[in-house]
Amino acid sequence: MKDIVLEMSNITKVYNGVKALDHVSIKIKRGEVYGLVGNNGAGKTTLMRLIAGQTELQEGTIKLFGETNEVMIRTSRRRMGVLIEEPGFYKNMTAAENLEYFRIQFGIPGKEVVSEVLKEVGLENTGKKKYKQFSLGMKQRLGIALALLHTPELLILDEPINGLDPAGIIEVRQTLLEINKRRNTTILIASHILAEMANIATTYGFLSNGKLLEEITAAELAEKCSVYLDIIVDDPKSMCILLEKEMHYKNFKVYPNQHIHLYEGLEESNRICELAVSNKIGVVGIVRQVVNLENYYMSIVEGC
Ligand SMILES: Nc1ncnc2c1ncn2[C@@H]1O[C@H](COP(=O)(O)OP(=O)(O)OP(=O)(O)O)[C@@H](O)[C@H]1O
């Protein structure tokens, strides 16, 4: 079994009487890319700040690399790399000069780590170009490089693709996937760009209004994210018998409000409709639905 890098249990964080996090529990396994998904104000940054020790823990427990004791957690944080807001890079310095400055500040041994991480994030050829001349994507990748400088086992990134153009998004995505694969670095990433999260996350935590609605692996989600016929009839029980006996379908489920989700026979909506009508079942609608990460998130938010 994969070991647990981070476990947060029953975390509640209140700002001025408002719950930014409400009894949130998450578990992140080694090697995972854990996508924290949530709309604005869901509590993503607050959760990350708590892990990084940037805001005080009020209620709940954190277990980081197996440590629960406050002093030991503080030491364990050295095994993490964090990019929550834009680091204070010097505008007139190059990528290498900036990283060298922080390497010395942090007391990280070995000058060569600078060129190594620059290569890893694809900034090895930026030469004399100064930070102020960088594109947003380059700036983000330099931020990731800084977080990687001390070879962390867990990388925490808050909205690393926010504001990037499509090319920038692809570059950051490739960088993260490479780091995850090559170094086996566990990544916790927050984003509200769900289409992109779907490209990298191996597990999702869905947050809304400070509550964790669901924690689900990408494989489990893939099973749920499918194309199906949404059949709405006035007698779902009889309809199910017909689907099974007359159409020989097995792959369907009954949902509240007289909905049946049929995962096969997607081209047969006319025949299904005729079958219902000839058996005096009232058909409200038969609609082809596609579930992706975005509408899955919306469905669980609305279902609360
Ligand atoms: N330092 C703070 N003081 C007061 N309220 C705060 C503070 N930080 C966060 N909050 C509040 O806590 C809630 C959660 O905010 P948080 O920034 O964690 O959400 P988020 O999911 O990261 O949102 P976004 O995507 O907009 O950054 C919000 O209602 C926010 O206003």
Nearest to 168 by CA among 148, 132, 139: 139
Do residues 252 and 261 touch, judged by C-beta distance below 8 A?
yes
Q: Ligand 1 centre from 61 Cα, in Å?
A: 20
- What percent of the chain has pLDDT above 90? 70
Q: Average pLDDT in the 162-191 region? A: 89
Measured in degrees and rounded to the nearest 5, phi and psi for residue 4 equal -90, 120
What's 182's domain CATH number? 3.40.50.300
Q: Is the pLDDT of residue 257 over 80?
A: yes
Q: Is the pLDDT of residue 302 over 80?
A: no
Same domain for 218 and 276? no
Same domain for 20 and 86? yes
Atom of ligand 1 nearest to the CA of 13: 12
Same domain for 174 and 40? yes
Residue 61 CA to residue 288 CA, distance in Å, equals: 44
In order, the DSSP letters of 26-52 are: EEEETT-EEEEE--TTSSHHHHHHHHH
Q: Which residue has the higher pLDDT, 302 or 115?
A: 115
Q: Average pLDDT in the 19-40 region? A: 95
Same domain for 254 and 201? no
What's 288's domain CATH number? 3.30.70
Q: Ligand 1 centre from 46 Cα, in Å?
A: 6
Q: What is the pLDDT of residues 101-159, one digit of tens each?
A: 999 999 999 999 999 999 988 899 999 999 999 988 899 999 999 999 999 999 999 99
Q: 24 in ligand 1 pocket by Cβ < 6 Å?
A: no
Same domain for 252 and 117? no
Same domain for 208 and 290? no
ipTM here: 0.96
Same domain for 268 and 167? no
Q: 140 in ligand 1 pocket by Cβ < 6 Å?
A: no
Residue that finishes a domain, picked among 222, 253, 278: 222
Same domain for 289 and 209? no
Counting ligand 1 atoms within 8 A of each CB, the residue from 37, 44, 157 with the most, and so the one to mutate, is 44
Same domain for 218 and 134? yes
Same domain for 213 and 278? no
Q: Ligand 1 centre from 21 Cα, in Å?
A: 9
What integer pLDDT is reported at residue 263 of this predicted model?
A: 87
Same domain for 247 and 179? no
Residue range(s) defining the domain that contains residue 168: 4-222
Q: 43 in ligand 1 pocket by Cβ < 6 Å?
A: yes
Atom of ligand 1 nearest to the CA of 192: 25
* Mean pLDDT, the chain, whole residue set: 91
Residue that finishes a domain, picked among 174, 194, 222: 222
Residue that finishes a domain, picked among 222, 254, 285: 222
- What percent of the chain has pLDDT above 70? 98
Same domain for 92 and 164? yes
Element (H, E) at 176: helix 166-183
Residue at 156: amino acid letter? I
Q: Is the pLDDT of residue 189 over 60?
A: yes
Q: 13 in ligand 1 pocket by Cβ < 6 Å?
A: no
Q: What is the number of structural domains in the chain?
A: 2
